[in-house]
Structure 1
Amino acid sequence: MTLKDKLAAQRIYILLGALFITSLVVSNLIFQKFFYWYPLDIEIFGTKLFEISVGILPYPITFLITDLISEIYGKKRANDIVVTGIFASLFSLLIIYTANHVPATSWSYVKDDMFNTVFGNSAIAVFASMLTYLFAQFIDIQIYHFWKRLTKGKHLWLRNNFSTWFSQFVDTFSITFLLCSFGIIDWANFKGLLISGFLFKVIIAACDTPFLYLGVYLFRKRFHLRVNQEINLV
């Protein structure tokens, strides 16, 4: 690979990392708003099917990006992105905590009570999300590369979906359990939110498979990569 190609691959890696971190941090900030995604009036354990947090919308993007980075840049680069995401989450937590304790002026459009209502639970959410995120992302990467070695780089759809399904169940169960434990969500909604959240993520994982194939195809064409060949940025 030429120096020009390596520089281009490095820039793309940075852009993917930026998308990953943005999706992760934003999902932690907007999680308190819930919406009803599915048009049918179906209830599971007293909770409407796909009655889920808006924080779940950008979160699957993080798994698509780590799968793409795992495929093209390798396991180490994917793990680097995960660690960077943890640092970004901690830093955002510090900013939110500081902003929440700074008193608003008398003419401030957003008062202390309003700010605390929207962001007051963000500290708990970020902490809970980081714990679950850490487990889920590393599980996703490990399983992805297990299937990649087993299939010798073939059957991309298999490792993309299998790794994401398992890791997303771990993530959904953990974050729902922690939010209920902290009193942010009532325990009566636990089973319904767990099933709704997991099913939503499974559907999204299936839908993003063509985009993963497209991304891998474009990378291999642009950088002349063979099947199972990875870009070494060093």
Structure 2
Amino acid sequence: MTPHTPTQPAQGYRYYEFIMAAFVAVYLCSNIIGPAKAAQLTLPGWGPITFGAGVVFFPISYIFGDVLTEVYGYARARRVIWAGFGAMIFASVMAAVVVALPPAPGWHNQGAYEVAFGSTWRIVLASLCAFFCGEFVNSFILAKMKILSAGRHLWQRTIGSTIFGEGVDCLLFYPLAFWNSGLIPNELLPGIMLAQFVTKVAVETLFTPFTYAIVGFLKRAEGVDHYDRNTDFTPFSIKT
């Protein structure tokens, strides 16, 4: 299959917009719905583990990021990352405004609403910073590994890029959001970061067959298999 040229218009693809919508939806839901709930599971031989519910679904955004870079290339994945970044900014502003609006007389769910949708701006900014850096690292590593491996061993670059991307995400988010915040003791942060990192990479690994299926389908359906040999890897652009 011949790698596509960067001049091919994005609107010529049948499924690009659907992958973009899925990426943004997963990212928004995992950051807005998931973090409000602390979940606990008991694993055989390990015991109970407590985690933010969003961690179950957040790695799926990295799977879609892998699919976008692998099939359509870094530049088009970059556009999708910026779309997710902008959507999260809007969702955060909207949530802040809606939470701040005075509740109507007789409506007694303001407290629950604030718990579910009220995040401090420190946590929001930490999330945005971690997402921005982590996703671009993930996409960059995958694109470079694809060239080095001549397109072989997809599982190595999806898991390898996730290790770097999720590593950057965890290393940035937790210190920026919680260091000296009084919400989580500083001495507990390294353990939490490690647990979140391992969980996210494990989810990516478990979904590898699913990733293979989507990538294979899209490459056949779109007739494209992009190699980023002459790509400008700056994150500060939306050009394709």
What's the TM-score bracket when you normalise by the shorter of the two chains?
0.7 to 0.9
In 2, Cα distance between equivalents of 1:63 and 1:198: 13
In the other structure, the counterpart of 1:137 is 135
The answer to whether 1:27 aligns with 2:30 is yes
1:114 matched to 2:118? The reply is no
Percentage of matched positions with identical amino acids: 24
Tell me which residue corresponds to 1:56.
55
Q: CA deviation at 1:221?
A: 2.5
1:85 aligns to what?
Answer: 84
May I ask how many residue pairs the two structures share in their alignment? Answer: 222
User: Cα–Cα, structure 1 residues 224 and 96, in superposed 2: closer, same or farther, change >3 Å?
Assistant: closer
C-alpha spacing 1:211/1:158, structure 2 compared with 1 (3 Å): same
Instruction: Flag the structure with more relative contact order, 1 or 2, with Cα contacts below 8 A and sequence separation at least 6.
Output: 2
Shift of 1:41: 6.8
Please state whether the residue corresponding to 1:52 is helix, strand or coil. strand
Question: For 1:9-36, what per-residue CA distance to the aligned partner results, in whole angstroms no more than 9, with x for missing partners?
Answer: 2x42111111111111122213131112
Higher mean C-alpha deviation, range 78-87 or range 183-192: 183-192
Separation in structure 2 between the aligned mates of residue 189 and residue 61 of structure 1, nearest angstrom: 26
Any residues of structure 2 matched to 1:5-44 within 5 Å, and which? 9=13, 11-30=14-33, 31-40=35-44, 42=46
Alpha-carbon RMSD: 2.7
Residues 59 and 224 of structure 1, relative CA distance in 2, 3 Å threshold? same
The structural deviation recorded for 1:191 is 2.4
Report the counterpart of residue 175 of structure 2 in structure 1.
177
Q: What is the distance in 1 between the residues matched to 2:207 and 2:172?
A: 23
Aligned-partner residue type, residue 36 of structure 2 = Q
Give TM-score, length-normalised by structure 2: 0.82
Task: Compute the displacement of 1:106 (Å).
Answer: 1.5
Name structure 2 gaps, 5 residues minimum.
5-9, 229-239
1:221 paired with 2:224, answer no
Mapped to 2, the partners of 1:29 and 1:123 lie a distance apart of 14
Q: TM-score, normalised by structure 1?
A: 0.84
